[in-house]
Structure 1
Amino acid sequence: MKKLLYIIALLPALLTAQEIAVLKYSGGGDWYGNPTSLPNLAKFCNQNISTKLKPKTAIVEAGSPDLFSYAFVHMTGHGNVVFSDNDVINLRNYLTSGGFLHIDDNYGMDKFIRKEIKKIFPDKELALVPINHEIYKGPFAFPQGMPKIHEHDNKAPQAWGIFVEGRLVLLYTLETDLGDGWEDQEVHNDPVDVRTKALKMGANIVNYAFKE
């Protein structure tokens, strides 16, 4: 029933250009970081995987009913994250009824976000996304898993997930910084091949979110 209600809520967007959104949250963390990331990702997806995403990124609050208007929501930041009780309920309902949340650590949110994810899914544990998961298979192949975009603590890139009935509903990427790779080239001066890897991985995530 939840899945049906989610699809009904999405129908207006499915009939026209679709929007992807940035999650606005409390706690003092910079949810607004990487302002050029999602517009660039939307443009790349439209050009390469036949999506029809609006170039302007929407902003949606964690506790807002508008959350259900988006099939893909992206969250980033460097610092503290706090979800209220209402945020927790809203996010849980969104994710268990067909929504998808990608959390990308911009460096510094790990110790905060893990506690908040646990509030959303107290009966589940973050699990490493296996190397044979669909997000690595296409439209672009990543046989080695999550690409390394920016160096943080000299650790391998990681992809953690929450699965509901076999479906990946929350993806938490750590030690990779995909969002920085999606930014305008002059922001971080990343080489073309690094930015391309980041955008291709992002396109895989968007593709999975909309397909599933």
Structure 2
Amino acid sequence: MGMRRRDFLKFSTAGLGGLLAGSKALAQFGERRPLNYDFFFAQLVVGKGLEWNPRPSVARSLAALLNKRTSIPASPERVEVRLAGSDLSAWPFLYLSGESGFEPFSELEIQRLRSWFEAGGFMLVDDALGLPDSGFDQSFRRELKRLFPGDELRPIPQTHTIFQSYYLLDKVAGRKASVPYLSGIDRSDLTVLLYSQNDLAGAIEQAGAGYRYSPEPGGESQREIAIRLWVNIILYALTANYKKDLIHTPFISERRKRRPR
């Protein structure tokens, strides 16, 4: 009997500390994080009040699904990160979300964030409104031009490692299905910033024993796509592009042909 996907990941991540230690995405970050978890949900605090936190229980919801579907120990607690005062070097993964526009970053904040990217950080940006050209979208794109002058967001191709890192995916979705692709910024051969305009967090945020929102328009099948996409993104953030080296391309192509729709 062949090795199940979960068993394979358990095998391949049993020594995840060693794998991560060799990963460009983590090697340059500090040792100030607790050692009993391999993934921490660190979220940027931007704007006023709670504008930065439209999905307050997403960290716990994500940890639950990672612990259920993979063997990656994920912390259920969110880490609040402020560009002006927090130690960015402790957190190789950052999450930025919102529904409305926010004030421009200071020059110091831009410099600190740019240095964090140069050190190998990975950022997931999630428009919680799930609509193109939202206030959040406009503010984010404004700051992106300052962070990466001369670069533009580009659609992530289906051949990208993100669509193969755990599940084989050929579509994207969140609570909404407004934009049929992810966008990103690359540095060398790695994607360092990933942008979803479909409210990924809204698709997995739990409330009590169930989910807080119903995905539109696809319902539970759309939620499953979003869940699998979350898993793939976190695997990519943790291990960079190692999966590209491990996957046998013809085997992947054959599995794509056989996959049920």
Q: Same fold (TM over 0.5)?
A: yes
Say whether 1:120 aligns with 2:170. no
What is the rounded CA distance, in whole Å, between the counterparts of 2:214 and 2:139 in structure 1?
29
Match of 1:180 among 199, 202, 205: 202
Structure 2: tracts of 5 or more residues without a match = 1-22, 241-261
CA contact (8 A) 1:148 1:157 kept: no
For residues 59 and 125 of structure 1, what CA distance do their matches in structure 2 show?
A: 27
1:36-76: CA deviation from partner (whole Å, max 9, x where unpaired): 11211122112222111111111111234422212211111
Amino acid aligned to 1:54: S
Sort the Cα spacing of 1:55 and 1:118 in 2 relative to 1 into closer, same or farther, 3 A. same
Aligned residue number for residue 7 of structure 1: 27
Q: Which of 24, 40, 58 is the aligned partner of 2:79?
A: 58
| Equivalent residue pairs, number | 205
CA displacement at 1:165 relative to structure 2: 0.9
Distance 2:45 2:196 in 1: 18
Q: Which amino acid aligns with 2:37?
A: A
Corresponding residue for 1:193? 221
8 Å CA contact 2:172–2:226 kept in 1: the answer is: no
Unaligned runs of 5+ residues in structure 1 are none
**Is structure 2 residue 64 aligned with structure 1 residue 37?**
no
Cα offset for 1:139?
0.5
Q: Distance in 1 between matches of 2:79 and 2:88?
A: 10
In structure 2, the residue matched to 1:74 is 95
| Structure 2 contact 61–204 (Cα < 8 Å) conserved | yes
State which drifts further: 56-65 or 35-44.
56-65
Q: Could you tell me how far 1:104 is from its partner in structure 2?
A: 0.5
SS at match of 1:90: helix
The alignment partner of 2:71 has SS state of coil
- Aligned residue number for residue 158 of structure 1: 181
How much does 1:209 deviate?
0.6
> CA, structure 1 residues 121+167, in 2 after alignment: closer, same or farther (shift >3 Å)?
same
1:102 offset after TM fit, Å? 0.4
Q: Which residue is equivalent to 1:170?
A: 193
SS in structure 2 opposite 1:125? Answer: coil
- The sequence identity of aligned pairs, in percent, is 25
Counterpart contact for 2:43–2:80, Cα < 8 Å = yes
Deviates more, 1:62-71 or 1:201-210: 62-71
Q: CA RMSD in A?
A: 2.4
Counterpart-to-counterpart distance in 2, 1:99 and 1:194:
29
Q: Is the 8 A contact 2:54 2:98 kept in 1?
A: yes
Aligned to 1:96: 118
Q: Secondary structure at the match of 2:194?
A: strand
Which runs of 4 or more aligned residues in structure 1 lie more than 4 Å from their structure 2 counterparts after TM superposition? Answer: none
Residues 89, 7 of structure 1: CA spacing in aligned structure 2 closer, same or farther, 3 A cutoff?
same
1:187 deviation in Å? Answer: 1.9
